[in-house]
Amino acid sequence: MIRKVTLVDLGGAKSVTAKRMPAQQWLDALATSARQYEPIAIGYLASMLIERGYEVKIVIRTGDALSLEEVLDGDPDMVGFSSLTCSYPLALELATMVKSVRPGIITVIGGYHATAVPGEISEETVWDYLIAKEADMALADLADYRNGKREREDIRGIVYVQGNIWVDNFSRFDPNEIPTPFRDEKMMANTKLVDLNFPPPSQQRLATLVWSRGCKHNCVWCSSSKMFPKCPGHPKQIPRDIGNIVEEIRMCQERFGTNTAFVADLSFEDLEWARKLCREVGKTGLKWYAMARLDVDPDIFRVMRDGGCTKIGFGVESLIFQRKSGATSIGKWRKLAIRTTQTFRELGLLSKYYYMLGGVGETVQNIQDEADAICEVPADIIRLSWMVPCPGTRGYREAKESRRLVSDDLRLFNTDFPIIRIEGAGPEELQRMKLDIYRRFYHPDHYAEQARKMVEAFPFLAQSYKEWNDILAGSIGQGFLK
């Protein structure tokens, strides 16, 4: 009989332990993309379970480690793990520890890595069930099935057992038909966007919001299309009702004092929908950071700004290679990247550009050329990642077949390690090259004047830039203020 369910989000944990470790602050590699988000995916799972009458506990990291003690605290009947590729070895290790102590606990694995290679993972005997793709309905239905409240064929999802499909009843669902994600004060207390942001980190109470489900695009290295496939009757990307979004924002503001949000999806490609959404969101007074594409209608950026958006991130990926799905001309892509930063200077918006380094077949010279191009585009923030092709994607198969992977250790598939072999440089040299790009981009001679002009034009950003300078000084050993 299942009454209590514990949901475990591995996040960026680096180890698992038997005993609970003291809470601590942490930053991502180089502290240039640090974030402490609520675990939004398992928040949705928790809400569905709670709605069905289950007692739910969420375990998230409060430092570098997760512990068996935390997972078993409360005596759960079922433990669900959400895992990316890089955190899967830790999920496997922690689940093994759970089974060794309490073999009767039902263990379930889900998330992007489980969706990418479900047959392989579900062969591990430590997992009783694997849920592929969206699991909001499936996990609650599985718990009901174990309690005799639902027939196996009525479980809404795709479930694997011991390497085989056990239930194949998946269909995309309307995100308006499920409750908003579970949140509590403990989960929300330390959420931060620790980079250049408005409000700055010292003044933030952050929430993570999902305004649509899925992605319209199909980049070769990304597994999003596997998690959110196109199904009959549903597009690949399904928007939420605007009234539903506003209601969630106001709830966060009232309960947690939320004043800023990270919008964790690509919602802004339809200008008319963006206008309707931002008109209503703007009335809440919320400040927010969202992702978009460079090639959307530029009028969308003004609409977003007027709706409370203060920063927009772009998956630029590369300025010298055509990595981005839909980027048909690299020359056009570079011009868009520069033009967008110019538009943002006029609007008082902050821009964050995400780049990928080190694809299959690339050279040290390519990385140096990419560095030159990056420094020519005056973004406000850059995030450098090493190309990591997700298992199950075409990019992964190509890297594997060409023997370009440095290691099969999934813990290194985290974008902070150069997992693809680059001729002429080993991992340590490549990491030095990446750090040098950061230092070159944020060098006072390159970045200080740009920052000064933004603060001069938009004085409300002064504290944001001051804190950003301090963060950079502590992470890459160099600020931009002279």
Using one digit for the tens of pLDDT, what is the confidence trace for 277-287? 999 999 999 99
Fold of 4-175: Rossmann fold (3.40.50)
Distance CA 332, CA 113 (A): 34
Q: What is the pLDDT of residues 133-147, one digit of tens each?
A: 999 999 999 999 999
pLDDT band at 160 (very low <50, low <70, confident <90, very high): very high
Q: Would you state the pLDDT for residue 326?
A: 55
Q: Would you state the pLDDT for residue 29?
A: 42
Closest C-alpha to 156, from 129, 135, 176, 175: 135
**Residues of the chain above pLDDT 70, percent:** 93
Q: What is the pLDDT of residues 196-206, one digit of tens each?
A: 999 999 999 99
Phi, psi (degrees; rounded to nearest 5) at 181: -65, 150
Domain boundaries, the chain: 4-175, 191-475
Q: Would you state the pLDDT for residue 11?
A: 80
Hey, how many other C-beta atoms are within 10 angstroms of the C-beta on 20?
16
Answer yes or no: is pLDDT of 288 > 50: yes
Distance CA 241, CA 386 (A): 36
Enter the tokens of residue 315.
Answer: 């998956």
Span of 73-82, 275-284, 358-367 with lowest mean pLDDT = 358-367
92-122: string of b/e by CB count within 10 Å (b at 16+)?
bebbbbbbeebeebbbbbbbbbbbbbbeebb
Residue type at position 160: Y
Stretch 218-227: mean pLDDT? 66
Answer yes or no: is pLDDT of 34 > 70: no
Q: Would you state the pLDDT for residue 213?
A: 82
Q: Would you state the pLDDT for residue 328?
A: 58
Considering only residues 383 and 229, tell me which one the structure prediction assigns the higher pLDDT.
383
Enter the tokens of residue 257.
Answer: 């004092």
Q: Would you state the pLDDT for residue 450?
A: 96
Q: Would you state the pLDDT for residue 370?
A: 96
Distance CA 93, CA 305 (A): 45
Enter the tokens of residue 107.
Answer: 């263990």
Full-model pTM: 0.92
Considering only residues 477 and 287, tell me which one the structure prediction assigns the higher pLDDT.
287
Mean pLDDT (the chain, rounded): 90
Answer yes or no: is pLDDT of 4 > 60: yes
pLDDT band at 220 (very low <50, low <70, confident <90, very high): low
Which listed CATH number (1.10.600.10, 2.60.120.1440, 3.40.309.10, 3.30.750.200) goes with 191-475?
A: 3.30.750.200
Residue type at position 288: W
Q: Would you state the pLDDT for residue 147?
A: 97
Q: Would you state the pLDDT for residue 165?
A: 96
Rg (CA), the chain: 22
221-251: string of b/e by CB count within 10 Å (b at 16+)?
bbbbbbbbbeeeebebbbbbebeebbebbee
Spatial CB neighbours of 69, under 8 Å, sequence gap ≥ 6:
18, 19, 20
Q: Would you state the pLDDT for residue 386?
A: 95
Contact criterion met (CB below 8 Å) for 343 and 336: no
Measured CA distances, 423 to 137, 365, 387, 409, 429 (Å)? 46, 10, 15, 20, 11
Spatial CB neighbours of 472, under 8 Å, sequence gap ≥ 6:
31, 32, 442, 478, 479, 480
Q: Would you state the pLDDT for residue 430?
A: 97
Apex CA 312: angle with CA 450 and CA 292, to 5°? 135
Closest C-alpha to 410, from 64, 59, 92: 92
Secondary structure in 3-state letters for the chain = CCCEEEEEECCCCCEEECCCCCCCCCCCHHHCCEEECCCHHHHHHHHHHHHCCCEEEEEECCCCEEEHHHHHCCCCCEEEEECCCCCHHHHHHHHHHHHHHCCCCEEEEECHHHHHCHHHHHCCCCCCEEEECCCHHHHHHHHHHHCCCCCHHHCCCEEEECCEEEEECCCCCCHHHCCCCCCCHHHHCCCEEECCCCCCHHHCCEEEECCEECCCCCCCCCCHHHHCCCECCECCCEECCHHHHHHHHHHHHHHHCCCEEEECCCCCCCHHHHHHHHHHHHCCCCEEEEEECCCCCCHHHHHHHHCCEEEEEEEEECCCCCCCCCCCCHHHHHHHHHHHHHHHHHHCCEEEEEEEECCCCCEHHHHHHHHHHHHHCCCCEEEEEECCCCCCCHHHHHHHHCCCECCCCHHHCCCCCCCECEECECHHHHHHHHHHHHHHHCCHHHHHHHHHHHHHHCHHHHHHHHHHHHHHHHHCCCCCCC
